């Protein structure tokens, strides 16, 4: 029993910590929910564990951090000046994985929408949302 509790406590703690970093994602989720969209979160039965899955629309939404997923021509994506090669390899690996995931999802007939974190900043939020809704 004690173990179950500590597990739950740990999960709760993780969510608290993660929550701080996923605020834009929360905003997006809230908005979609208010618009009547229903979704599953981080569905690990699908390749790449998409951030949002809208089964009714056979659509998945990825919310990509600009740095970790190498957002091209984005000011939030700059390879650090130290350990440059290590970072480059790491991020290239992430990008290659994203490509692989997209192929698998496409093969299964999923529609994919990638949203970049920079697009969820307050100044761009509305524009990003309306283009996202158009794709659904
Ligand atoms: Zn970006």
Give me the number of domains the chain comprises. 1
Q: What is the pLDDT along the chain (136 residues), one digit of tens a residue?
A: 445 556 666 665 555 545 455 578 888 999 999 999 999 999 999 999 999 999 999 999 999 999 999 999 999 999 999 999 999 999 999 999 999 999 999 999 999 999 999 999 989 999 999 999 999 8
In a domain, 78, yes or no: yes
User: What pLDDT is stored for residue 17 in this prediction?
Assistant: 47
**Residue 106: in which H helix or E strand, if any?**
helix 84-107
What pLDDT does residue 26 have?
87
**Dist. CA 54–CA 93, nearest whole Å:** 27
Cα 4 from Cα 134, distance rounded (Å): 44
pLDDT for the residue 10: 60
Give residue 27's domain range. Answer: 22-135
Q: What is the spatial distance between Cα 77 and Cα 95, in angstroms, rounded to a whole number?
A: 13
Query: 3 CA to middle of ligand 1, Å?
Result: 41
Q: Could you tell me if residue 113 is inside a domain?
A: yes
pLDDT of residue 1: 47
Cβ distance 69 to 94 under 8 Å? yes
- What separation in Å is there between the alpha carbon of 64 and the centre of ligand 1? 8
Terminal Cα-to-Cα distance of the chain (whole angstroms): 44
**Residue 30 domain flag:** yes
**Residue 49 domain-assigned (yes or no):** yes
CATH number, domain with residue 51 = 3.40.960.10
15 falls within a domain: no
Residue 6 lies in a domain: no
Residue 4 CA, ligand 1 centroid: distance in Å: 39
Short-list 68, 60, 64, CA closest to 94: 68
- Sequence-distant (6+) residues with CB within 8 A of 100 are 47
Distance 62 CA to ligand 1 centre (A): 13
Residue 2 alpha carbon to ligand 1 centre in Å: 43
Q: In this structure, is residue 105 part of a structural domain?
A: yes
Maximum distance among all Cα pairs of the chain, rounded to whole angstroms = 51
Does residue 16 lie within any of the structural domains?
no
> How far is the centre of ligand 1, averaged over its atoms, from the C-alpha of 42 (Å)?
21
């Amino acid at each position: 029993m004690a173990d179950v509790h500590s597990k739950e406590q740990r999960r709760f703690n993780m969510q608290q910590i993660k929550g701080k970093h996923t605020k834009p994602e929360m905003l997006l989720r809230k908005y979609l929910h208010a618009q009547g969209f229903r979704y599953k979160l981080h569905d690990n039965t699908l390749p790449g564990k998409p951030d949002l899955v809208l089964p009714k629309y056979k659509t998945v939404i990825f919310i990509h951090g600009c740095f970790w997923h190498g957002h091209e021509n984005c000011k939030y994506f700059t390879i650090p000046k130290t350990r440059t090669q290590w970072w480059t390899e790491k991020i290239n690996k992430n990008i290659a994985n994203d490509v692989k995931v997209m192929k698998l999802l496409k093969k299964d007939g999923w529609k994919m929408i990638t949203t970049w974190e920079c697009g969820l900043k307050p100044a761009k939020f509305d524009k990003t949302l309306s283009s996202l809704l158009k794709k659904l």
